[in-house]
Structure 1
Amino acid sequence: MKKLSLLALLFCCLKVNSQDVYPTHWFTGMKDPSVQLMIHADGIGNTSRVTVNYPGVTVKKISAVTNRNYLFVDLVLSASAKPGTLRLLLGSGSGASTTIDWKLVAKNKEDGITRIKGVRQEDFIYLLMPDRFSNGDPSNDAYTDMRDSGADRQNPFARHGGDLKGIENHLNYLKQLGITTIWPTPVVENDMTRTEEGGTSRSTYHGYAFTDHYNVDKRFGGNAAYKQLVDATHAKGMKFMQDAVYNHVGNDHWFIRDLPMADWVNVWPKYTNTSHKYQPLADPH
């Protein structure tokens, strides 16, 4: 009885951070009406029921996995579902419950021809690494609440402070070069502890060690700066590519630090470096 009461108390006090719900939001009007939420919080896998009272949204099923800090919730969004914030009510067998607010937003209706255009053969693409390109806002170079809290332009293995504002400040320069498309390396959050490689402490300034798939790293200026840069790029008649290799996650990502299940990622007995050979993926023989 005491064990059951303690479980109920823990569940009542459960707090789910918005960054620990993937995807953080979804869109109305999608061709496929299904979406699966991955929710991460202490003991969330002990949930026995999930309900939602929002027009056009139903819970299809819930699934717990080996790690009880995860719960997967399958939703179905009907064509009648409207943008807004829905509330999921999660309950346990003891009667305890918690809530999660989750947003539906309107799908972009632009047609991909007059506004959003893909990269084509005639495009002149400029690949750049934001941290190394230009520092437009020194105030965001480093944050004490991040695992890698420094920046040092004299150290080739450290972050240097380049950001999205720095790219925006050079749009005229890029335009004059004849550039039609800007391709930055990933700018999503890399809140990573420095790695030790070859006896050298290294930052993930390159961007390929994601720790949050849905937020732009605040050392680059965050989500607002990203939108501002994209809008400014389009205003000059140029395109903007998003480089995001979604399986390139860092060791400090929450779903790596706390794996949902043993086979969530491929793991070797000891560190095994990639060969960078793509033939096994492209060649069936």
Structure 2
Amino acid sequence: MKKFGFLLAAFIYVSVAIAQNVKVYPTNWWVGMKHNKVQLLLRGDSTLGAHIPTIKYAGVQLTSYNKLDNGKYLAVNVTIAPNAKPGNVPIELKRGSSTQTINWPLLARRKGKGSSFAQGVTSSDFIYLIMPDRFSNGDPTNDRIAGMRDQSLNRDTVFNRHGGDLQGIQNNLGYLQAMGVTSLWLNPVLENDMPDRTEHGYAFTDHYTVDPRLGGDKAYQALIDAVHARGMKIIQDAVYNHVGSYHWFFLDKPTKDWFHEWPTYTNTTYKEQPLFDAYAAQKDYKQMADGWFTKQMPDLNQSNPYVANFLIQHALWTVEKFGIDGWRIDTYAYNDLAFMNRCNKALLDEYPKLSIFGETWVHG
């Protein structure tokens, strides 16, 4: 009897451990969204792909699921009905006689769309660009985070971190507003767990985590709330074209074609002419569009539907989660332009007043 009890306890422990180790992206969604068909990317151990997912929750239907090339992932497609209520949606993962359950939060929507967030900017706004690491250090306790790859902290060189953070920006909102600033545009705030040159933020390693050296999710939300309380606006820097080479889905790719791969390393040419030249050679077009921005920034394959869904859903999630007012899109011309049209449409369908503007970095 004791042996049976021990085996049962061990089985329960293993089942719970597996469930706890499964990550779901997007990490939550909201009731009442126009974008009510959501593709969940589940990430776990090497057996995850062998599980069969089911959902039993009023107003949420699991329409299909797909095994990916990498057995550590599952893509689960759900439709959220207009009458669905907020709550934890249980996703059951069954394999043989064992079942594990993951709770996926379905939340009530943020109030004030178009009036207190997703307001957009106009020609009357004074937009002030800030690189958070370089502006002001409001919390020295987060200057270095144990376990992160870049432990530099040296204000004597432009190549190291300086310690600026989101609290430092919040502390100086009065100063900025006194200058006439009405909108803040921040360089990327998402996690950049790269070995070096992390101060600029353009090499994401986790889309769903604000960099803890900047203060993390709570500090970002506190800053945005403080900005809006002053009648100001906030613009987030979006990077769809590439990620950092230490991103979890580059180190462990969900599908073989998640990125644009080349037989040998191939850099983009930084020359945009082939994109709009009707007589351009296909070779030139492909290298401009699919070549890597740098060796540390692998190029995402946005024609892969799983990649496209991941990026679009993250953009929508960010607006609703944090309440941003606009997107500045990095390296616009390097993206798949059909994907960009689809992404922009999804954002504007959900948030009609949201501002979207793009940048490109090219050599003549």
Question: TM-score range with shorter-chain normalisation?
Answer: 0.7 to 0.9
Aligned to 1:207: 201
Tell me the CA shift for residue 269 of structure 1. 2.3
**Which of 175, 180, 192 is the equivalent residue of 1:190?**
192
Q: How does 1:46-195 map to 2 (within 5 A)?
A: 46-47=50-51, 49-92=52-95, 94-113=96-115, 116-192=118-194, 194=195
- State how far apart, in whole Å, the 2-side matches of 1:11 and 1:60 are: 28
The DSSP-based 3-state class of the residue aligned with 2:237 is coil
Q: How does 1:22-41 map to 2 (within 5 A)?
A: 22-41=25-44
Structure 1 residues 107-136: Cα deviation after superposition (integer angstroms, max 9, x where no partner): 224241465410112211111100011111
Q: Which structure: greater helix fraction?
A: 2
Tell me the CA shift for residue 172 of structure 1. 1.6
- State how far apart, in whole Å, the 1-side matches of 2:20 and 2:243 are: 21
Aligned to 1:245: 239
- State how far apart, in whole Å, the 2-side matches of 1:267 and 1:188 are: 24
Tell me the CA shift for residue 247 of structure 1. 3.9
Aligned to 1:14: 18
Structure 1 residues 78-113: Cα deviation after superposition (integer angstroms, max 9, x where no partner): 111111111110112x22222211101112242414
**Which of 208, 211, 222 is the equivalent residue of 2:216?**
222
Structure 1 residues 151-188: Cα deviation after superposition (integer angstroms, max 9, x where no partner): 22223211111001111121122112211111010101
Letter matched to residue 179 of structure 1: V
Deviates more, 1:115-124 or 1:225-234: 115-124
Tell me the CA shift for residue 10 of structure 1. 11
- State how far apart, in whole Å, the 2-side matches of 1:109 and 1:172 are: 25
Deviates more, 1:239-248 or 1:251-260: 239-248
The DSSP-based 3-state class of the residue aligned with 1:97 is strand
The DSSP-based 3-state class of the residue aligned with 2:49 is helix
Tell me the CA shift for residue 191 of structure 1. 1.6
Where does structure 2 lack aligned partners over 5 or more consecutive residues?
1-10, 279-364
Structure 1 residues 182-206: Cα deviation after superposition (integer angstroms, max 9, x where no partner): 10101011122x2xxxxxxx32211
- State how far apart, in whole Å, the 1-side matches of 2:259 and 2:274 are: 18
Structure 1 residues 51-79: Cα deviation after superposition (integer angstroms, max 9, x where no partner): 12211111111110111111000111111
**8 A contact 1:11–1:96 mirrored in 2:** no
Letter matched to residue 191 of structure 1: D
Letter matched to residue 139 of structure 1: T
Deviates more, 1:109-118 or 1:50-59: 109-118
2:265 is the counterpart of 1:261? no
- State how far apart, in whole Å, the 2-side matches of 1:277 and 1:106 are: 45
**8 A contact 1:143–1:150 mirrored in 2:** no
Tell me the CA shift for residue 15 of structure 1. 4.1
The DSSP-based 3-state class of the residue aligned with 1:175 is helix
TM-score, normalised on structure 1? 0.86
Query: For residues 278 and 234 of structure 1, do their structure 2 counterparts lie closer, same or farther at Cα, with a shift above 3 Å needed?
Result: farther
The DSSP-based 3-state class of the residue aligned with 1:155 is coil
- State how far apart, in whole Å, the 2-side matches of 1:255 and 1:114 are: 34
TM-score, normalised on structure 2? 0.68
**8 A contact 1:36–1:73 mirrored in 2:** yes
**8 A contact 2:55–2:90 mirrored in 1:** yes
Letter matched to residue 88 of structure 2: T
Query: For residues 278 and 133 of structure 1, do their structure 2 counterparts lie closer, same or farther at Cα, with a shift above 3 Å needed?
Result: farther
Letter matched to residue 87 of structure 1: P
Tell me the CA shift for residue 221 of structure 1. 0.7
Aligned to 2:311: none
Where does structure 1 lack aligned partners over 5 or more consecutive residues?
1-7, 195-201
**Which of 257, 269, 274 is the equivalent residue of 1:275?**
269
The DSSP-based 3-state class of the residue aligned with 1:251 is coil
Tell me the CA shift for residue 143 of structure 1. 1.0
Letter matched to residue 237 of structure 1: G
- State how far apart, in whole Å, the 2-side matches of 1:56 and 1:85 are: 12
**8 A contact 1:11–1:98 mirrored in 2:** no
The count of corresponding residues between Structure 1 and Structure 2 is 266
Tell me the CA shift for residue 226 of structure 1. 0.8
Identity of aligned residues (%): 49
Structure 1 residues 214-264: Cα deviation after superposition (integer angstroms, max 9, x where no partner): 221111011111111111112222111111214431111111100111111
Tell me the CA shift for residue 16 of structure 1. 4.4
Query: For residues 80 and 130 of structure 1, do their structure 2 counterparts lie closer, same or farther at Cα, with a shift above 3 Å needed?
Result: same
